[in-house]
Amino acid sequence: SAVDCGRKANSTQVWKDVNQACIAEKEFRLAQICGLHLIVHAEELESLIRLYESNGYIDELCSLIENGLGLERAHMGMFTELAILYCKYRPEQIMDHLKLYWSRINIPKVIRACESAHLWPELVFLYVHYDEFDNAAQTIIEHSVDAWEHASFKDIIVKVSNVELYYKALRFYLKEQPLLLNDLLNVMMARIDHTRVVSMFQKSDNIPLIKKYLVAAQSTNNKSVNEAYNELLIEEEDFVGLRNSIDNHDNFDGIGLAQRLEKHDLLEFRRIAAHLYNQAKRWRQSLALSKKDKLYKDAMTTARVSGSTEIAEDLLRYFVESGNPACFSACLFTCYDLVRSDVVMELAWRHGLTNEAMPYFINLVREYQNKVDTLTSEVSDLKAKVERSGGSNGAAPAANGPNQLMGPAGLGGRLLLGPGAPAPNAGGNLFGNAGQSAPGSMSGSQFGGF
Tens of pLDDT, residues 94-128? 999 999 999 999 999 999 999 999 999 999 999 99
User: 111-115 contacts: CB < 8 A, separation 24 or more?
Assistant: 113/83, 113/84, 113/87, 113/88, 114/87
Angle at 53 (CA atoms; ends 52, 55), nearest 5 degrees: 70
Phi-psi region of 281 (alpha: psi -120 to 50; beta: other; left: phi over 0): left
pLDDT of 415-445, one tens digit each? Answer: 433 444 444 433 343 333 333 333 333 333 3
C-alpha span between 248 and 246 (Å, rounded): 6
Question: Which secondary-structure segment (H or E) carries 372?
Answer: helix 354-391
| pTM as predicted | 0.73
For residue 92, is pLDDT > 90?
yes
Q: What is the mean pLDDT of the chain?
A: 86
C-alpha span between 124 and 88 (Å, rounded): 17
The CA-based dihedral angle spanning residues 419, 420, 421, 426, taken in that order and rounded to the nearest 10 degrees: 130
C-alpha span between 299 and 410 (Å, rounded): 47
2: confidence class by pLDDT, cuts 50, 70, 90 = low
Instruction: Please count the other Cβ atoms lying within 10 Å of the Cβ belonging to residue 94.
Output: 25
Amino acid at 197: V
C-alpha span between 338 and 283 (Å, rounded): 15
With a CB cutoff of 8 Å and minimum separation 6, the contacts of 297 are: 330
Helix (H, G, I), strand (E, B) or coil at 396: coil
57: confidence class by pLDDT, cuts 50, 70, 90 = very high
Question: What is the CA 428 to chain-centroid distance, rounded?
Answer: 83
With a CB cutoff of 8 Å and minimum separation 6, the contacts of 326 are: 356
Tell me what pLDDT residue 6 has: 56
Helix (H, G, I), strand (E, B) or coil at 441: coil
The residues with which 432 forms a beta bridge, in sequence order, are: 429
For residue 8, is pLDDT > 90?
no
> φ and ψ at 417, to 5 degrees?
-105, 145
